[in-house]
Structure 1
């Protein structure tokens, strides 16, 4: 069932435009906003809840409540069809990154037309869509977008089902306090998807060159996930532009690498499903 849900979700994501009200980011942010307004003025218990939500743990618990409720209903009903439909919808809601796709297309158009100003602006839009705070090359940003919106939801759905993909999307998209504890939580959440996705680069790229880099990323636990993903990808495939004026081939090469990587894991999942491991 999981394989069919993943294949259907990825197919629909390419061909169907989901209403913004069904994007999981929109659902989570509305939920948090409603909760904040409800607890601003109220009884003593509501004030205590508001005070508890000032801490990261309380904020996370309140944010993941929609995921918990949906999972509870699916388990309670215990219907194969309902689980399949909700699984597809959960993946679709978590994979929505229209801003990044539009910015990427505009980036290629601007670069091909030689408009350096528009190219730089679209690169900023891609960085904003990626959620990465610091400036980075386009291929690194595309890798990070693919990890956050495609590979990580797939992985957490395979491992933990509907609950996994919705909780991950919640932690990715929720309004959060900017502090060291939140950064540590993001490091933990993205650690496994980064290492597994980068392992795929070994299989579809230069294995001998990328293997030592991948092993280093696994052993050095404090390493930044963004940097780890970039280093392995650059070792598996030549992503750096050959000259300064070449601003499109590196993006196209990165997208091709990510497509091969995703296909590898889908085939692997299909083989494991046939073997009865899933």
Structure 2
């Protein structure tokens, strides 16, 4: 079910079939507004409840439909949850606008859309080449946060695990956007990201230049204090050097290289999942 759900979710996300109102972030925003307020979320207990409740609902739903209609309803729940967790229309639109601005030579628009890709971190690029490199790092990081990590949680812990990770990520981003710290979320997200970021970064090692990236992975991956973003971006840079013969604008050469690396890494993940499914390790 994990493989089928993942493939369907990727197809729906690529075709942009899910409306903005049905995006998981939109649903979580409505959920937060209806059931919790800012004052309630300052409590550790209420914050923990807000994080756990969506995952609990999904898990109870899976248990309640288990075996019904020869497992068809269980598969439907897996697919629907995967589609919700993988649909990120706003990030895809912003990246498309950045690429369009780069192709028409609109430097100011490039800087504006580049900052919008990850509004919580300023790029502070000093040149077009530096901008392309930093956007490439941001693309690698976004690819992990919104696709790689979600896929790993879906594979290892099922739909409830994927929903729980997405809920923690949502409230972490909400706290940063409102500049109002929320209890539990930042530390919890760091814990949740520790192992998946190292697994996904090792995929970069296997998908790119092994000799360059392996040393970087060993240096960061074996250091338990290294945060997820550092290991993802540093290994990605080492695994995929910029092509010197590219005809693309300077500010997107590094971005395109790291984007291709991310695509190869995700294909590797799907391939490994297919093998695990064939051998019965993953259902």
Partner residue in 2 for 1:139 = 136
TM-score (norm 1): 0.86
Cα distance change, pair 242–195 in 1 and its aligned pair in 2 (3 A): farther
TM-score (norm 2): 0.85
| 2:78 is the alignment partner of 1:75 | no
Partner residue in 1 for 2:151 = 154
Q: Does the 8 Å contact 1:8/1:88 carry over to 2?
A: yes
Structure 2 unaligned blocks of 5 or more: 125-133
Partner residue in 2 for 1:26 = 26
| Alpha-carbon shift at residue 195 of structure 1 (Å) | 0.6
Q: Distance in 1 between matches of 2:244 and 2:87?
A: 29
Where do residues 118-129 of structure 1 align in structure 2 (5 Å cutoff)? 118-128=109-119
Deviating above 4 A after TM superposition, structure 1's stretches of 4 or more consecutive aligned residues are 239-243
1:264 to 241, 247, 268: 268
Structure 1 unaligned blocks of 5 or more: 41-49
Where do residues 38-49 of structure 1 align in structure 2 (5 Å cutoff)? none
Partner residue in 1 for 2:215 = 212
Which string of whole-angstrom CA distances, capped at 9 and with x for unpartnered residues, describes residues 202-238 of structure 1? 1111112211211122221111211111111111111
Q: Does the 8 Å contact 1:241/1:250 carry over to 2?
A: no
Q: Does the 8 Å contact 2:59/2:159 carry over to 1?
A: yes
Q: Distance in 2 between matches of 1:85 and 1:190?
A: 27
SS in 1 for 2:251: coil
Partner residue in 1 for 2:258 = 254
Q: Does the 8 Å contact 1:139/1:239 carry over to 2?
A: no
Partner residue in 2 for 1:192 = 195
Cα distance change, pair 184–36 in 1 and its aligned pair in 2 (3 A): closer
| Alpha-carbon shift at residue 19 of structure 1 (Å) | 2.3
Q: Distance in 2 between matches of 1:239 and 1:114?
A: 20
Q: Distance in 2 between matches of 1:196 and 1:157?
A: 14
Q: Comparing both chains, which one has the higher relative contact order based on Cα–Cα distances under 8 Å and sequence gaps of 6 or more?
A: 2
SS in 2 for 1:223: coil
